[in-house]
Structure 1
């Protein structure tokens, strides 16, 4: 199921007197709540060989934003990649669209010494207008103003609601 978690819950869950509360600092979010795809039509998944691999966001009718670390291993064989969306489940009820181009940020390093990925962003292209008019699929509204500090933000993706 698609899940939503806000950043304050994550911070509260991890930062207890300066120690982690049963969560390794992996950047993963748990303890979300199930939501309907109708409220988050931009949420799609990257599939590799038709298997769920990573979460993504639709940014135009022909482009999807992903994490470079998800895309990097398959850049030389993009025919293995597809975008799947239109359903609350990343496994059924949606539509699969082939990826025709994938580009990682030029400063992305696949195996950094720190183990942390900077510039971890990739743009995927699907056939022209392939995402237009699809049920429960639409680009995310991209802001052109700075979001004030303290603004409640949400993360949407597929994962566990408990750990």
Structure 2
């Protein structure tokens, strides 16, 4: 994980290969979209990372009273190989507004053993363990609760909701950072278009979910959303389909442009890893509300 010294923009020549691991991507934010309201996403958490005198930012989702899921690139050192000690991480939860959140300190951090920091990050997820949080079982109108993992089919053109805290401007203006959680509607791309950005892409039922901005220009993830939830509407509510991993655009360096894309880690692809770390069986992790 590279340190953030300023809000950098992607170079035009490197725009096709933008990764969530470098400095620019640890400040990914939602562009366009809408505010979720005080308890609009009770499973969403803000992860503050204190490192070498700097405050970095990622998002995550509650899986249980003691477990948070986030992106692996949010928890590693500059080389992308070693996990940072848990004392570097503070988790804010219980409200979409950062000043109103309760906070807990991480006690353990487990990165997916197959994580590789590369052009398209492989196995980009990690589990953060925390002291027991105050959660409610009722899925609606709760201050904080766990979210179930979606393990159904995700089809071309399907709508997902990506979320995160941060800048509301496409040029990554640091003065436009928001304390309120925002969400953006994104759409799953077609195989041919997604292969231009991820040559191994077959469908969003594999290891990655591919979303294309051309279906909803002006709405996308951008520069602090890393690790944040990407959810899908299912029976009884919203389920965790993915987490923000990386993205970019073909020509323009700004976020939300019609030529842009996002790649999200598909959570259900990693149920065995999640179960081994959390101790939760697959039926619990994917239960319906």
Q: What TM-score do the two structures reach when normalised by structure 2?
A: 0.42
Cα deviation for residue 51 of structure 1 reads: 4.2
Aligned to 2:89: 81
Aligned to 2:245: none
In 2, Cα distance between equivalents of 1:149 and 1:60: 30
Q: Does 1:159 align with 2:195?
A: no
Q: Does 1:96 align with 2:103?
A: yes
Contact 1:86 1:95 in 2 (8 A): yes
Q: Secondary structure of the equivalent of 2:149?
A: coil
Contact 2:40 2:96 in 1 (8 A): no
In 2, Cα distance between equivalents of 1:67 and 1:76: 13
Cα deviation for residue 98 of structure 1 reads: 1.1
In 2, Cα distance between equivalents of 1:141 and 1:108: 23
2:115 counterpart (108, 111, 114): 108
Cα deviation for residue 36 of structure 1 reads: 1.1
In 1, Cα distance between equivalents of 2:40 and 2:64: 17
> Relative contact order: is structure 1 or structure 2 higher (C-alpha 8 Å, sep ≥ 6)?
1
In 1, Cα distance between equivalents of 2:164 and 2:84: 26
In 1, Cα distance between equivalents of 2:38 and 2:122: 29
Cα deviation for residue 131 of structure 1 reads: 4.2
In 2, Cα distance between equivalents of 1:57 and 1:121: 11
Contact 2:41 2:96 in 1 (8 A): no
Cα deviation for residue 148 of structure 1 reads: 4.1
Aligned to 2:76: 72
Aligned to 1:13: none
Closer/same/farther in 2, CA of residues 41 and 52 from structure 1, 3 Å limit: farther
Aligned to 1:130: 133
In 2, Cα distance between equivalents of 1:145 and 1:46: 28
Runs of 5+ in structure 1 lacking a partner?
A: 1-19
Aligned to 1:63: 67
Closer/same/farther in 2, CA of residues 122 and 141 from structure 1, 3 Å limit: same
Contact 2:42 2:96 in 1 (8 A): no
The root-mean-square deviation of aligned C-alpha atoms, in Å, is 2.7
Closer/same/farther in 2, CA of residues 93 and 132 from structure 1, 3 Å limit: same
